[in-house]
Structure 1
């Protein structure tokens, strides 16, 4: 398949030809920068609640008020490829075109089919159990969510416990509806199946793996 054909053959939203004049730039060094983001994402899941920055790995990115935060874009750019369908909650031509062009990613309107998902508005996001939870014999096939939030520090404090956290950690993510935590708690009985999440704000993110228990402080 020729590059021009690949740009026109993606499925899902924005499958039309990419507007090269409006295309957002990707990594300056695709290999090393994507590896840097990948390491940051692993670190964030290994140390739940810890704020991790990826801003230095995509210095040319500038999102408008309605665009995906740098941390979400850099993460999807590093992780997505032709074999990992991406669900984008809202119609975002710039993000869709950039993922198709730089990562060769396909996009899907069906959140159940998504390997990765970007949620721009947590208040109207699909229920967590609408995404793939994996299977007991293959829990790694569950979806990973990148959820834009108002702040990583200014929300109501919740107590996080589990692997990667010494004793307990108090985390205050702002901009999540209460139903998110209720839906997540309801998935605990499905372990090892479940959902891994990243909360993104600007160039930083916080990881929340399915192994972390969250309770009111």
Structure 2
């Protein structure tokens, strides 16, 4: 039977200084980002810097998860895992083997991708069903750069359309290939099943619900 790892309580480390208010602030920022795709939202400087993942990615996980939500970490990040256990008690899975099993994929409600170039195929995650589209994985994808508008050559220029966007919104996202966005687009026929994405860099988060159409410009 697949089981999530059991924490070593002696090694737990805190994340938020003010867990209740910090989590509430991040939660509001993430919800606003999902409601307004294309508009970056700051989660605030609520965590110390870490080489494991961006502030936004770590804060988002801390704000959205609890003891009933299973989290999959692409890499076994000791600091991230410790903070999650300290604040949320969330059961953790890590590595391709856990995700590759049907049981593992269905368990995972949030996944942290810290090496986007090696992101697992989307069908390795729970996509939900037409009857229960909410039973899907939310991917938190950590990228090196993220900007509103089409800025410079450091990343792909994307044009977004869909609910929450008046006409279109332009963003520039580094670290993700055209193939990544093509694979996401291939999920469209499965709607209302699919995956919601939260793209994180620095203290900023970009919400991309499955209803958002993404065009690589």
TM bracket, shorter-chain basis: 0.7 to 0.9
| Partner SS state of residue 83, structure 1 | coil
Alignment check: 8 A CA contact 2:156 2:177 kept: no
Distance 1:45 1:187, change over 3 A: same
| Partner SS state of residue 86, structure 1 | strand
Q: What 5-or-longer segments of structure 2 have no aligned partner?
A: 100-104, 148-153
| Partner SS state of residue 55, structure 1 | coil
Find the partner of 1:27 among 1, 4, 16.
16
TM-score norm. by structure 2 comes to 0.87
Find the partner of 2:38 among 27, 33, 49.
49
- Indicate whether 1:63 and 2:50 are aligned: yes
- 1:151 Cα shift? 0.6
Q: Which residue of 2 aligns with 1:6?
A: none
- Indicate whether 1:105 and 2:90 are aligned: yes
| Partner SS state of residue 28, structure 1 | coil
Determine the C-alpha separation between the residues in 2 that align with 1:55 and 1:190: 35
| Partner SS state of residue 172, structure 1 | strand
| Partner SS state of residue 40, structure 1 | helix
- Indicate whether 1:127 and 2:153 are aligned: no
Determine the C-alpha separation between the residues in 2 that align with 1:122 and 1:19: 32
Distance 1:16 1:156, change over 3 A: closer
Determine the C-alpha separation between the residues in 1 that align with 2:40 and 2:179: 23
Find the partner of 2:71 among 83, 86, 100.
86
Q: Which runs of 4+ in 1 moved over 4 A?
A: none
Mapping of residues 55-204 of structure 1, within 5 Å: 55-56=44-45, 58=46, 60-64=47-51, 67-109=52-94, 110-111=98-99, 112=105, 113-153=107-147, 154-204=154-204
Mapping of residues 8-27 of structure 1, within 5 Å: 11-13=3-5, 15-20=6-11, 23-27=12-16
Alignment check: 8 A CA contact 2:14 2:82 kept: no
Determine the C-alpha separation between the residues in 2 that align with 1:190 and 1:211: 11
TM-score norm. by structure 1 comes to 0.87
Determine the C-alpha separation between the residues in 2 that align with 1:151 and 1:171: 11
Per-residue deviation, residues 51-70 of structure 1 (Å, max 9, x unmatched): 110123x1x42212xx1111
Alignment check: 8 A CA contact 1:25 1:61 kept: no
Per-residue deviation, residues 1-49 of structure 1 (Å, max 9, x unmatched): xxxxxxxxxx535x351443xx443222222221111111110011111
| Partner SS state of residue 199, structure 2 | strand
Alignment check: 8 A CA contact 2:33 2:41 kept: yes
The RMSD of aligned alpha carbons is: 1.5
